[in-house]
Amino acid sequence: MKINLIGVPLHLGADKFGCNLAPKTYREANIVNLIESLGFEVFDCGDVNVLETDEKRKYEHHPNLKYLHEVVDANNKLAQKVYESISNGNFPLILGGDHSLGLGSIAGASKSIKNLGVVWIDAHGDINTDITSPTGNIHGMPLAASFGIGHEALVNVYENRVKIKEENVFHIAGRDLDEGEVELIKGSKGQFYTMDKVKKLGIKNVVKDMLNYFKNKVDAIHVSFDLDSIDSLFAPGTGTPVKDGLSVEDAKYILESLALSGMMCSLDIVELNPVLDKDNKTLDIAMYLIKNTLSKLKYGLENRLTA
């Protein structure tokens, strides 16, 4: 198994410059060497090509889906890379970029894996639609679109089908939810462990619930990690920071437990904004989490084979 690095220099889904620079920042911080030092072979697939556009064309395709055409195009390309990586027996590590890239990751992973589970770790719900979104930023919509709720252009990214079952979604660390998102969660078949719930239960119990929930339920799990799930005090370098979030150790524990479970097939690390970061704090956290998570992947594979 190789690790496939896939960079997604996309910020149009966030409508804020900066997170498009993150893939370059990770490479300059020697992410490839870091992963190789864990004993993995790394193949860097390079960056997904993002179409050029400009501010004036934001609403060209839809009044509340900014840069719709460009975001969909980038996700179609990403989905193909993720699909190829997994179907070749490799592990795609997707480096964002804004979180709209979850559309493409999940589309690609769910083409290889029939019954895909998704763990979405995020201060935000990312379950808005063009109707409920207060901003029109597509990075607030990818999770809903993946389970079939939202504009058809997002739901049908890459392939005309709903990518995952709503009940296969496990969301952790929500604490900045919009009205429409709260409504959707109320009637949802997905699992939503908000920050309040995390604090009440403790992270160990959250992870226990998560692993039990997915046991015998899904074929594999795609993990989508938004760095703003971490408390903005520790991780200031994101476009939409929120306080009172996960500690770095909480995040580490969630991710390493998923790696050790043997169920994780792919991983997004999103929303690093190097322009907003302070002393590389957020970059360092991201690198630390990537290193620790991947270092546990091998044990996960063994666990899977012996299970």
Distance CA 168, CA 166 (A): 5
Q: Does 231 bind Mn ion (CB under 5 A)?
A: no
Among 126, 130, 250, 277, binds ligand ARG (CB under 6 A): 126
Asked if 122 is an active-site residue, the reply is yes
Nearer to Mn ion, 164 or 260 (CB): 164
Q: Does 126 bind Mn ion (CB under 5 A)?
A: yes
Q: Taking the complex as a whole, how short is the minimal distance between the CB of residue 198 and Mn ion, in angstroms?
A: 15
Q: Does 261 bind ligand ARG (CB under 6 A)?
A: no
Segment near ligand ARG (CB under 6 A), from 131-139, 148-156, 160-168, 184-192?
A: 131-139
Distance CA 274, CA 26 (A): 10
The reply to whether 122 sits in an annotated binding site is: yes
Q: Taking the complex as a whole, how short is the minimal distance between the CB of residue 33 and Mn ion, in angstroms?
A: 28
Size of the site for ligand ARG (CB under 6 A): 14
Among 135, 280, 295, 303, binds ligand ARG (CB under 6 A): 135
The reply to whether 222 sits in an annotated binding site is: no
Q: Taking the complex as a whole, how short is the minimal distance between the CB of residue 66 and ligand ARG, in angstroms?
A: 10
250 binds, among ligand ARG, Mn ion, none (CB under 5 to 8 A by kind): none
CA 5, 161, 100, 136: dihedral to nearest 10 degrees?
170
Q: Taking the complex as a whole, how short is the minimal distance between the CB of residue 136 and Mn ion, in angstroms?
A: 15
Q: Taking the complex as a whole, how short is the minimal distance between the CB of residue 190 and ligand ARG, in angstroms?
A: 16
Catalytic residue selected from 47, 126, 256, 268:
126
133 binds, among ligand ARG, Mn ion, none (CB under 5 to 8 A by kind): ligand ARG
Nearer to Mn ion, 262 or 274 (CB): 274
Q: Does 124 bind Mn ion (CB under 5 A)?
A: yes
The interface with ligand ARG within residues 186-225 (CB under 6 A) comprises none
Catalytic residues: 99, 122, 124, 126, 139, 226, 228, 271
